[in-house]
Amino acid sequence: MTLKEKIDLCNQYINELLTQPITDSQIIKYSIDGVSIEKKSVFEMIEALEKLKASFIKQANKMPPYIQMVF
């Protein structure tokens, strides 16, 4: 799974949480490429997904799109 797909998946999960009716009795669990997040509150889940998305964006900014070798 590419970083762009992971970021898009985070956005999709956040939008899904925002459109669902809020219930506090339900445990929410999402998994993105082996990283599992389990929260009881919708707001905590959105915050955790935003942090995960920020880490993916930070990781994408560190990686160069190509490597140039000069001999």
Look at 60 and 58; give whichever has higher pLDDT. 58
CA dihedral over 55, 57, 58, 63, signed as positive or negative: positive
Is residue 63 scored above 70 in pLDDT? Answer: no
Q: What is the pLDDT of residue 41?
A: 84
39: helix, coil or strand?
strand
Q: What is the pLDDT of residue 10?
A: 92
The model's pTM is 0.74
Q: What is the pLDDT of residue 8?
A: 92
Rounded to the nearest 5°, which phi and psi values hold at 69? -110, 130
Query: Distances from the Cα of 69 to the Cαs of 6, 20, 60, 66, in angstroms?
Result: 29, 50, 21, 10
Task: Tell me the pLDDT tens digit for each residue of 1-55.
Answer: 888 899 999 999 999 888 887 766 677 888 888 888 888 888 888 899 999 999 9
